[in-house]
Amino acid sequence: MTELQLVDWIRKQGTGIGDDCAILPFGKVELLVTTDMFLEDIHFQASEDAVSLGHRALARGLSDIAAMSGKPRWYFVSLALAEWSKPAWVKRFYQGMRRLGDKHGAELAGGDLSHTGKVAADIMVIGEAPRSKALRRSTARVGDGIWVSGVLGGQQAKPEPRVELGLALRGKATACMDLSDGLSIDLHRLCKESAVAAVIDRPLPVAPGATLDEALNRGEDYELLFTSAARREFRPFRGLPLTRIGTIVEGRAGAMTLFGTALKPGGYDHFAR
Amino acid sequence: MTELQLVDWIRKQGTGIGDDCAILPFGKVELLVTTDMFLEDIHFQASEDAVSLGHRALARGLSDIAAMSGKPRWYFVSLALAEWSKPAWVKRFYQGMRRLGDKHGAELAGGDLSHTGKVAADIMVIGEAPRSKALRRSTARVGDGIWVSGVLGGQQAKPEPRVELGLALRGKATACMDLSDGLSIDLHRLCKESAVAAVIDRPLPVAPGATLDEALNRGEDYELLFTSAARREFRPFRGLPLTRIGTIVEGRAGAMTLFGTALKPGGYDHFAR
């Protein structure tokens, strides 16, 4: 059994797995729940600024909620400390999370604290959306325009999760996900889940100083990738550019072309290591 | 700043921290959320049976839900794998969780998978209780009887979370928590949160083969510790003995006596290491 087969096997064990968050029907709403590990030497280095690390650790989960047009409510932090991560570091790590959480209305509600050899954090975010209103990645339709927010491939110390944009796209986008692993792999996933193909035939919004390859394959952009009816045009959202980059077409599920050439999913894959 | 001061500081950052679970008011119910790390070489050894480990990993969270008289609904598993933890091991680990979750109506709803040096799991369980009906540890009253379920100090490969008992105690117990770190420290915590003292003046239900010290101080019993009006008597619950061991009294918050002698909290403390 390969690692990818294992991931598939795990997915089949549970329900609601496949989108950025689990969708849990609950009364008149859906709870959106996402959990992300943030591990020393895998996702970050001990030498990085603790406030930025706290920000990044929480940004991932908030971005998952944003991708589904959810309103973040609470987050939980499980943190295993190492020898080097002293209380002063921990406080700054929490401060980074608090500042970002406060900005988006997410409240720290609990967690666990332990010790181990390397710092390991697991951040869980709970959000909500009205029943059946959460955006998914499996609902793109042939003919839809493909859009991205912001600029791609720039590496930011404190990427901004697009919570407010996600809420604004409710009822307007046909499918949505966040760019956490890179456009080429994330668009591939959206297309595969929606059983459609994609044509990228318009200039990408490449971040200043970034290459096309970085715009396609660098992770942690946390911009939103969404589809919408072909006729719909989007203006910048509160100063944030929204750029149409292509069109959803019929074809092999997950297939992509970039200016006429086949594009392979080449982004960061946690299991291709 | 000491580690305990750090824990206090972290608690002050968030809301709803202090009981076994976070209590999140949501519509007509309260969501109960608990998250527990389960770390190689801290909470378990690589040599242990993977099915039992999966059981134990989930039992902790289910027991937290039980302690608050909650009904478990969903759980999430973040798992960082090590070199040695091959797919066959992972499948058995999940099987251990699945069997226990199915038994108590808890559904696997998502998680995260990554890689690191040692296996690190973080298990989050979401449950629910009608608004204001969750049992807490801060509501024991002077004069209440102190009770425990089951027998204490036995070490079980597959401890059983007392979910059904917790639900049955709703409206009957005045305060409740689970015995995860040992009676002496957990009773101390309950008394401290309730601003009362405790007298243990009746025989403890010591597990066969266990010593009094183990009954007082060995963790992972996952039995329920609860208080109730003095006049109330409890019969065994579906074959599970419920034993009154003492009485809540006035006194210094958290002070305890055992047959007339001061009893210090001596159980497992994750931060006294």
Q: Give the distance from residue B106's alpha carbon to the nearest chain A alpha carbon, in angstroms.
A: 11
Asked if B254 and B192 touch (Cβ cutoff 8 Å), the reply is yes
> What whole-number percentage of chain B has pLDDT above 70?
95
State whether residue A252 is helix, strand or coil: coil
Amino acid, single-letter form, for residue A238:
R
Amino acid, single-letter form, for residue B178:
D
The Cα A124–Cα A180 span in angstroms is 16
Asked if B135 and B168 touch (Cβ cutoff 8 Å), the reply is no
Nearest beta carbon to residue B114 from set A21, A91, A270: A270
- The model's pLDDT over A193-223, given as tens digits with 9 standing for 90+, comes to 999 999 999 999 999 999 999 999 988 889 9
What residues form DSSP beta bridges with A127? Answer: A32, A72
What residues form DSSP beta bridges with A108? Answer: A75
- Round to the nearest angstrom and report the end-to-end CA distance of chain A: 16
Chain A, 55-94: which have a CB under 8 Å from a chain B CB?
73-74, 76, 78, 80, 87-88, 90-91, 94
Identify the closest residue of chain B to A108 by CA–CA distance.
B14
Q: Which CATH number fits domain A20-130: 3.10.150.10, 3.30.70.270, 3.30.1330.10, 3.10.580.10?
A: 3.30.1330.10
Q: Which CATH number fits domain B145-262: 3.40.250.10, 3.10.129.10, 3.40.50.740, 3.90.650.10?
A: 3.90.650.10
Tokens of A260: 């006429």
CA A140-A74-A133 angle, to 5 degrees, is 25
The HSE-up count of residue A233 (CA atoms within 13 Å, CB side) is 1
Q: Give the distance from residue B182's alpha carbon to the nearest chain A alpha carbon, in angstroms.
A: 17
pLDDT over 90 (residue A98): yes
The ipTM, to two decimals, is 0.89
- The model's pLDDT over A159-188, given as tens digits with 9 standing for 90+, comes to 999 999 999 999 999 999 999 989 999 999
Tokens of B6: 């750090």
CATH 3.30.1330.10 maps onto chain B at 14-130
pLDDT over 90 (residue A6): no
Tokens of B231: 């006049």
Between chains, do A107 and B17 touch, taking CB under 8 Å as contact?
A: no
The Cα A215–Cα B80 span in angstroms is 28
- The model's pLDDT over B31-75, given as tens digits with 9 standing for 90+, comes to 999 999 999 999 999 999 999 999 999 999 999 999 999 999 999
With CA atoms as reference, report the closest residue to B271 among B1, B2, B44, B52: B2
The Cα B107–Cα A106 span in angstroms is 25
CATH 3.90.650.10 maps onto chain A at 145-262
Residue A41: count of CB within 10 angstroms of its CB: 11
With CA atoms as reference, report the closest residue to B36 among B53, B61, B55: B61
Asked if B130 and B121 touch (Cβ cutoff 8 Å), the reply is no
Non-local (6+) Cβ contacts of A80 within 8 A are A113, A114, A115, A116, A119, A120, A121, B37, B39, B42, B120
Task: Using an 8 Å CB-CB cutoff, list chain B residues near A10.
Answer: 90, 94, 111, 113
CA B41-B55-A58 angle, to 5 degrees, is 65
Domain boundaries B14-130, corresponding CATH code: 3.30.1330.10
Q: What is the pTM of this model?
A: 0.91
Burial zone of A143 (CB within 10 Å; 0-12 exposed, 13-18 middle, 19+ buried): middle
| C-alpha distances out from residue A139 to A78, A228, B115, B242, Å | 33, 10, 31, 53
- The model's pLDDT over A23-76, given as tens digits with 9 standing for 90+, comes to 898 888 999 999 999 999 999 999 999 999 999 999 999 999 999 999 999 999
The Cα B44–Cα B84 span in angstroms is 14
* Model pLDDT, residue A269: 52
Chain A, 130-159: which have a CB under 8 Å from a chain B CB?
none
Task: Using an 8 Å CB-CB cutoff, list chain A residues near B78.
Answer: 35-37, 78, 122, 124
A19, A95, A124: best to mutate for the B interface, most B CBs within 10 A: A124
Task: Using an 8 Å CB-CB cutoff, list chain A residues near B180.
Answer: none
* Model pLDDT, residue A272: 42
A5, A36, A37: best to mutate for the B interface, most B CBs within 10 A: A37
Task: Using an 8 Å CB-CB cutoff, list chain A residues near B270.
Answer: 113-115
